[in-house]
Amino acid sequence: MPTAILSALPQEQSGLLAQLQQPQHLQHAGRSVWRGTLHGQSVVLALSGIGKVAAATTATALIERFGVARIVFTGVAGGVGTGVQVGDVVVAQDYVQHDMDASPLFARWELPGYGRQRLACDAALSALLLEAARACVSSAEGHFGLKYQAGHPRVHYGLVASGDRFVASAHEAHRLRTALLTGGHEVLAVEMEGAAVAQVCHDYGLPFAAVRTISDRADDSAHIDFPQFVRTVASRYAERIVQDL
């Protein structure tokens, strides 16, 4: 059974697509899907589109129609955690939907029907991503020729938040960081799809993991940093990180 590799945007996927062997292009539910092999493994590459509903639809279609055995998400995210800088890599340990609020019926951020606020990613699959991400950033080409930081980019492992908002103000990023700081877990990054895919995979009992490169700090310059980063480096990380799955 193939591994699905999901990205939100074509720019995040293009490096993987360039390496796909025996590519077969299909359209399903308005999604562009590629079947093929990557480093000898059977894979399905798909674009989720942006946002939780689009991502959940895509994940469901990949499971039901393409029979994928596990899903990996690769793309970019806004860094909100302390010390999470542009160019760093975040591997998700667990996910929260920061826009989920069914209070006072349920606790803030609790997923109704799940009895919890967070969904954990698959530990073994995440460990593979972590190992690959560490090897990638510590190599000589860690920067991909782009001077985002003084030293090598860092790899972080922890909580990621998803919601149907592009977070683009320092005030909101700070609010997310402090509000979601529960039990000593600081939210590291924010994006718009991962938690939805985590929920679908949880429902189907399939492993899910996610790796996100930080494109912006979810602050007042996020709308400038994000497109620039996506154009230049996003997909080059993905093609190196997922090769060892």
Which positions are annotated as active-site residues? 12, 216
Residue 2 makes contact with ligand ADE by CB under 6 A: no
Q: What character string, x for contact with ligand ADE (CB under 6 A) and - otherwise, covers 98-127? A: ------------------------------
The least CB distance from residue 78 to ligand ADE, in Å, is 3
Angstrom distance (rounded) from CA 189 to CA 124: 21
Angstrom distance (rounded) from CA 213 to CA 137: 11
Residue 84 makes contact with ligand ADE by CB under 6 A: no
Nearest to ligand ADE by Cβ — which residue?
78
- Based on the number of CB atoms within 10 Å of its own CB, is 60 exposed (0-12), middle (13-18) or buried (19 or more)? middle
Region of 15-23, 146-154, 177-185, 188-196 interacting with ligand ADE (CB under 6 A) = 188-196
Region of 51-59, 60-68, 92-100, 211-219 interacting with ligand ADE (CB under 6 A) = 211-219
Is-contact 79 217, C-beta < 8 A?
A: yes
Choosing from 88, 110, 191, 239, the residue that interacts with ligand ADE (CB under 6 A) is: 191
Choosing from 55, 76, 137, 160, the residue that interacts with ligand ADE (CB under 6 A) is: 76
Which long-range CB contacts under 8 A does 176-185 form with residues at least 24 apart?
A: 176/80, 176/98, 176/218, 177/80, 177/81, 177/82, 180/96, 180/98, 180/109, 182/117, 185/158, 185/159
The least CB distance from residue 243 to ligand ADE, in Å, is 23
Residues contacting 156, CB < 8 A, separation 6+: 81, 84, 88, 89, 90, 91, 188, 189
Choosing from 89, 190, 196, 200, the residue that interacts with ligand ADE (CB under 6 A) is: 190
Angstrom distance (rounded) from CA 24 to CA 201: 24
Residue 166 makes contact with ligand ADE by CB under 6 A: yes
Region of 64-72, 109-117, 186-194, 237-245 interacting with ligand ADE (CB under 6 A) = 186-194
Nearer to ligand ADE, 76 or 132 (CB): 76
CA distances (Å), origin 166, targets 25, 83, 110: 30, 20, 21
Region of 109-117, 162-170, 174-182, 233-241 interacting with ligand ADE (CB under 6 A) = 162-170
Is-contact 142 148, C-beta < 8 A?
A: no
Q: Which residues would be at the binding site for ligand ADE (CB under 6 A)?
A: 76-78, 166-168, 190-192, 215-216, 218, 222, 226
